[in-house]
Each structure stands twice: as C-alpha cells, then as structure tokens.
Structure 1
Amino acid sequence: MISISGLNKAYKMYPTRWSRLVEWISPFNIKRHELKWVLKDINFDIHAGESVGIIGSNGAGKSTLLKIITGTTTGTNGNVSVSGRISALLELGIGFHPDFTGRQNVYMSGQLLGLSHNEINTLMPEIESFAEIGDYIDQPVRVYSSGMQVRLAFSLATAVRPDILIVDEALAVGDIFFQQKCFDRIFDMKQKGTTLLFVTHDMGSIYRLCDKALYIDHGMVKAFGDVRETIAKYELDLKKINKDSLDKEGISKSSDSLAVQYDDSVFSPPVRFISGQVLCSGIATDSIDEGAEFSIAVEIETIGNVSDDLHIGFQIRDAKGNIYFETNTYCQRTPPVREGNRFKSEFHLTNNLCEGAYILSFGVASDGYGLSSFKEVLLHDVGRKQFSVIRNIDRSWAGLCNMRVHS
C-alpha cells in the first residue's frame, strides 16, 4: 500500500556557489536562496498488487516522486505512507561502487536490501545466470558497459520478489533481448501480487503491464486512473505543444508556415528546394494520427540547365538515423508536375507508423534507372523537418508498424 497526501518538494536554488555559505554564516538569518518547487500537492493511493505506470515529460517530477517513495530523499511537506519491502531500480548503477567487483557489489547492495549473507550465497547462482555477464561478475564495475550494469542491478533487485518493485527508465539502455527477459520477470511478479511502479516513455509497455496510469506535469498530477484515459490526456497535451527544433538535425520551423526553406548559399546546384510539407486533409501539420491518410507535398525550382527527366523523392527516418521509408517519383511512376521552371509532387500515404518522432527530408535527381540509380543527384537530404505520430488509443496492434491483417 502506498498512500501520498499533500506532498510537496522544493529544492533551494542559490544564485552563486558562495550564496549558500553566506546564508549559513549570516548572523541575521538572511535568505540567499529561492525555492524551486518540483512537486506540488501530490495526492494518490496505490493498493497492494496494483501496477501503475507513471508518465510525463522529462523534468516533470517523476524521478523525484519515486525517490521520495523509496526513502532516498524526503518531501518538503506532506505525508507519505509505504507498507512492504521495496526493491527499486532508479538510476543506472546506483549503489554500486565502481572499484569493487560485480560480485562484491551484489553482496553489499543485497545487504542494503535486507538480505543476509547466507541468502545472497543461495541467490548468487540465479543472479549470475539472469545477468548473463559471464566472467565480468568478478571484474570491477567501472569496466562495465551501461547495459551490463543494468543487467546486474535488475538481477539483484528482482532476485527475491519484493512487495513493491519500482523501475525508473533504467531498462532503456539494455539490449532488446534482455529487456524482453526483464519484462517477462516483471509480468510474473505482477501476477504473483507485487505492486509495480513503472516509469517509461514507452506507452506500449504501460498498456501491457499496468492497471492504472499516473500523469505528472510540471510537478502536479494531471490525471490518475484508467490507463487509456490517462495516456489519451497525456498525448492530447503533447499534441498541443509546438515541437522543438532539432538543432543537431538542422531542422528549422516557421510560425507562419510549416514549409522549410533550403539555404543554397554555399552549394549552388541547378535546382533549388522551395518547400516540403506534411498535409492532413489538405492542411499543413506536424503531427499525424496512427492510421490516418496524409500526403507529402514537395516543390522545387530549376535555376539552371537540367534534364527533363527530373525526379523528386523523400525519406522518413527516426532520431537514430534508421530509415523507415523512402521512395521517389521515378519508382512511383508519377513524374512531377511542371509549371514553368517549378516542379511539384504530392505523395499520398496511409500512416502505418507507430507513435513517435520522425524526420522527413527530400532529394532531387535526374534520369532514373532504378530505385537508387540516377544519372545525377542534384539535391540530397534537404528541407529536413520533424513530425510526430500520435497514438490511436483504440488500435488493435502493437509494434513498429501496422501490417494491416485482413481475412
């Protein structure tokens, strides 16, 4: 049972590194700090055996809330009541000493979890087997990769089924196979009655594991209860927020138009990129619902002698650079529409991508011979912009794309 009422948490913010010292030694008790409130009037109850997914943007206060529940920090005021043994995976490698071996850290951290030396001896073979780090168990933790630290930390935290299991995004750094094994163990513990608090940005995991969802925004509870309704509230708020530009990707945005202008001040090819837009029902947008019909409109201008066999293409990739889809007018057998020295193309698509952020870019080439075979590439990876896919809460599938099963 976890019961929280009227919880507030503030940190003291000092303007300079000397202000704290001046405040301590001042005989007049003059305050040199301002309070930064990271949690504001938090109230909720979680009953034994419930699984709750905690969602919200970075900096919303999710991790601070979990630290208060686990007892690693305290609230400024309010009441927090927790019943049962807690096992928490909050931060990568937390509690591990970098100069001690993995085995030594297991014994030290295990005792902090309330396990006796003999109990750890009994559990050690299972911990080693689940972690799958081999001989590294007897090497200093400082030589471990982030994934290896997560493996060992999770293996220890779940070696004995706790009353309350708290996981704060730590599994995001593990490889996909270990993540699956961790989720299987978490699901098994849930079935046996463990209370779960799970922080993640993966809404699919929330749907799979959790009975309820808690949405925190700017330190306040915005929604708590039904998973679908809470996630829908969160995603609706996300949809209202203007997407920040991705500086590393060179994405620009305009308040008047979603078209992105191409700077040809350094490289001057015989064609110029004019605009690229994502359209839903003919209206420019930077967010698309899962399963929605949309189009990508591109316009270029020739400023020199070019072939009449001109083709326009686009590419969709994620923030890691993985290409999700690309095509061009040559492959689609739909040449651009020419209006004087301008060429326009519009690609009509069904959005089968899952929720997330994607990067759209464009290219122009002449004289096509095949999918990636052109006589000359005139523009490549220009007009980059970001768009987002918003989850359809009523969807009947999971994964990276909708394969559209039919009878």
Structure 2
Amino acid sequence: MNEIAISVKDVGKCYRVFDNNRSRLLHHFVPAHTKGMREVWALRDVSFEIKRGESVAIIGRNGGGKSTLLEILTGTLTPTTGQVTVNGRVSALLELGSGFNPEYSGRDNVILNGLLLGLTKEQILSRFDEIEAFAEIGPAIDRPVKTYSSGMMVRLAFAVQVLSDPDILIIDEALSVGDFFFQQKCLSYIKGLHENGVTLLFVSHDMGAVRDTCERGILLKKGQIAFDGSNLEAIRRYFHQNDSSEEIGSATSPARLAATDRIESPIWRSTTLEEDKTRKATILAVGMTNDKGEPSTHFRMASIARFRLHFDTFVDGGRHVHLEIKNKNNQLVTSIGTFGMGLTSPTFAANDEAVFEFELQLSLEAGEYVCCFYLVSPSPDGKSGDVVDQTPWLGPITVHWDYEHEIPPFNGMFGMNSGGRYIL
C-alpha cells in the first residue's frame, strides 16, 4: 500500500479577472487578446506530502488560499499548474449539506450521499441506525431537508461523512456553525478516527483545536507555503501575522532573537531589524502558559493563565505594564496594569531587559478572546504616563467549558482575579 496519502507538487491556481465584459468576450474568441485582463493567483508553487495516518492542519489568514487548496484536493477545482495525487477514499466536510436535495427527506439524502461517497446501498443501510443516532435529529430524519435548521443540516451531513469509513478526512471550518456540544462530540469522534489510522487534514482558525488535533502545521500566506513543520511553531507564526508590518520569517538581529529565549515558545515576538532608540523602551516578545507552565492559548474556564512580556529599555526610568483583553464582539473584557495594581516599577537603567508576568484566573464565559500589551513610561507625578510601545492584538485565546456535563463556577460574562510580579 502506498504510504503517501496526499501528494501535492508545484500546484497553482490562477483566476482571470477582466475589467469589463467586452474584454472577457474578446479574450474568449481571441485568446491572444489580454488587454483589460489580469491574472490573480490564489495558489502558487505549493508542494507537500502527507503520509497515511498523519494529522495535518492547514492554517492562515483569510485569503491565504486554504479553501482553494482543499477544493483542489477534493476534485471540485482543477489546478492551473502542478499535480495532485490522493490515495484512498476521501470524506470532505467543506460546505456541509451542500449536496443535499432539499425536496428529499433526510433518510433519502443519507442514502444518496453515501452512494456518492462510493458506498453500496447495503453498506449504507447497515450503518443507518448509527448515522441516525449520531445526528440526533429524531423524527426529522423523515422530513424534507428544506424544513431543517442549519444546525440539523450540519448534524446529518457530518454524520454521513464521518461514518462512511473514510481513509482521508478533510475538514474546512465545517463545525463552526454547529452548537457547542455537537462541536465537542464531533472533535472527539475525529480524534478517534485519527487514532484508528485515518489521515486528517484540518483547516481552522481555532488554534486550540489545531494544537489538540494535529501534529503538523502548514501555514499558507498569500497563496504560498510560509511554513511546514511542527504545529506549535506553525501556530506561533500564525499569531505573529497579527503584526501586518512584518513578514513571516523576516530577518531578526541575532542579539534580539536570542533575547526572546527568556520566554519559551513565544506567541509573538518583535522582528524589528534595528532597535528604535527614539523610544524609551520596546517589547521583545510575549508568551502564554497554563497553570502547569506549558505554552498554551487554550484554557479551561477559571484556570490560571500566565502572560509574560519581555521588554528592553533604552533610557533610565520606570516602566509600567498594561494588559487589555477583548471578546469576539470587540468588547473590552478587562484592562489591568501595574499602576492599577498598586505595583511600584523598579528603576531601570539604559539597555536593561526584564520580564513581567501577569497571572490571571480566566473566569470568563467560554469563547474566544484577544489581548494587547502596552509599555508605559510613568509621568513625574506618578499618576499617568505615555505609551512607549505596544503589541498588535494577539489571539485567539480560547476559554472552554463543558456546560452539558459540569456546573460552571460562575454565571454571567466574567469575574476575574488578577496579580502580577516583575522578574528581573
């Protein structure tokens, strides 16, 4: 048996964009006529191999080429250049339910989709009870699909795909529209499939799910592979893209790169080539760990999270540190800092380096959050100050809780205790 499940060699996808219909029509009849036409490459020179049984995440910002790549792998798009080889039966969760006939019942659509996946009718019927139980939509299984809610559609479509004994399972943010409990159920089942040897190709913006589900990460940026390797390093580079002024892998001076070693597996670090000493200080790196000291951006509700900020000073004086956290709706959840905590900043000399550690109990409702760090130079009166450096918004930070099986430690949006210390 071929040990390579998926092989992608020099794949590119180009779309032709026309300024107007006249240019489109002229090019159709006279291909040499390219005036008013430009080429837009969604993918370019993408090459990688995935072995059988591997779990690989494809990550990147919107517009990076992730969905285009998956559509090529599943055969719904033809690449402009390059070659793709897929060995094994593929189940793809791209747009769940898109292949359902709205006039047919759920039962009929299960049989139809199973046949399209290459199963025989006998195989489908032998597993129908299992599919029906997994979907948990009750008597609706015999109603026309056009009467289903989006959640019911997701449940049934997912059940059909994962229970069809795939060799390769491809998932593209398909679970984001499902309810919280069904997402947990699906992720648990996906992990079980992978443990049984199914090759997993996973696309998500949830870096906690990427970290927990996959071993390898491929980072796409502007249609090209920016990184292929450890999923933790891929996640770190994904977070670093929040700083749009810098390129992934841009050169960093050896001294500044070594300086970030004071934070293990930083989720963000400065890649400024030269120290800007017109400022009084600069932030070098940011790291996050759980209560066990392990690098993480995925936390259980009410657990302890430690946020570490590594900074460098250029002139003598004190430095206050500030942290803000927002939710997905851009609402400020908390804003805390050394000044508000009543902490007195040490007096730093020029070129001193230090690490400040915030310790927070994340008593936040389950969801995704982003954070931003500030360095502040205190004013002479000690009551205010000027921001001398800040990070981009970093995240997402995921807070999770099993509401179905556990009583939450609080009700409402949040209730947070905090503390901090300087580490010199």
Give the TM-score band, short-chain normalised.
0.5 to 0.7
The Cα offsets for residues 328-361 of structure 1, whole Å up to 9 and x where unpaired, read as 9xxx898xxxxxxxxxxxxx9936469743699x
Give how far 1:284 is off: 9.2
Residues 191, 403 of structure 1: alpha-carbon distance in 2 compared, 3 angstrom cutoff: farther
Give how far 1:4 is off: 1.0
User: In the alignment, what sits opposite 1:389?
Assistant: 394
Residues 144, 284 of structure 1: alpha-carbon distance in 2 compared, 3 angstrom cutoff: farther
Counterparts of 1:1-400 in structure 2, within 5 Å, are 1-26=5-30, 29-31=32-34, 33-241=37-245, 289-290=287-288, 291-292=307-308, 295-296=321-322, 317-320=326-329, 324-325=333-334, 350=358, 352=360, 356-357=369-370, 388-390=393-395, 399=400
Larger radius of gyration: 1
TM-score (normalizing by structure 2): 0.63
Amino acid at match of 1:190: H
Q: Secondary structure at the match of 2:370?
A: strand
Give how far 1:185 is off: 0.8
Give how far 1:325 is off: 4.0
Q: Secondary structure at the match of 2:170?
A: strand
Alignment partners' CA distance in 2, 1:390 and 1:289 = 11
**Structure 2 unaligned spans of 5+:** 247-278, 289-306, 310-319, 343-355, 374-390, 402-413, 419-424
Give how far 1:69 is off: 0.8
**Structure 1 unaligned spans of 5+:** 243-280, 298-314, 335-347, 361-385
Alignment partners' CA distance in 2, 1:115 and 1:212 = 30
Aligned pair count? Answer: 305
Residues 150, 18 of structure 1: alpha-carbon distance in 2 compared, 3 angstrom cutoff: farther
RMSD: 3.8
Q: Secondary structure at the match of 2:186?
A: helix
Residues 53, 156 of structure 1: alpha-carbon distance in 2 compared, 3 angstrom cutoff: same
Amino acid at match of 2:394: V
- The answer (yes or no) to whether the contact 2:372–2:394 under 8 Å persists in 1 is no
Residues 233, 166 of structure 1: alpha-carbon distance in 2 compared, 3 angstrom cutoff: same
Q: Alignment identity in percent? A: 39
Residues 149, 403 of structure 1: alpha-carbon distance in 2 compared, 3 angstrom cutoff: farther
Give how far 1:174 is off: 0.7
- The answer (yes or no) to whether the contact 2:119–2:164 under 8 Å persists in 1 is no
Alignment partners' CA distance in 2, 1:214 and 1:327 = 35
Amino acid at match of 1:48: R
Q: Secondary structure at the match of 1:230?
A: helix
Give how far 1:122 is off: 1.6
Residues 30, 391 of structure 1: alpha-carbon distance in 2 compared, 3 angstrom cutoff: closer
Amino acid at match of 1:388: W
Residues 326, 85 of structure 1: alpha-carbon distance in 2 compared, 3 angstrom cutoff: same
Give how far 1:323 is off: 7.0
- The answer (yes or no) to whether the contact 1:289–1:391 under 8 Å persists in 2 is no
Alignment partners' CA distance in 1, 2:417 and 2:91 = 39
- The answer (yes or no) to whether the contact 1:102–1:152 under 8 Å persists in 2 is yes
Give how far 1:74 is off: 1.1
Give how far 1:239 is off: 3.4
- The answer (yes or no) to whether the contact 2:227–2:234 under 8 Å persists in 1 is yes
Alignment partners' CA distance in 2, 1:316 and 1:236 = 17
Alignment partners' CA distance in 2, 1:124 and 1:236 = 45
Give how far 1:324 is off: 3.9
Alignment partners' CA distance in 1, 2:139 and 2:118 = 26
Amino acid at match of 2:105: T
The Cα offsets for residues 13-32 of structure 1, whole Å up to 9 and x where unpaired, read as 12224543343244x74235
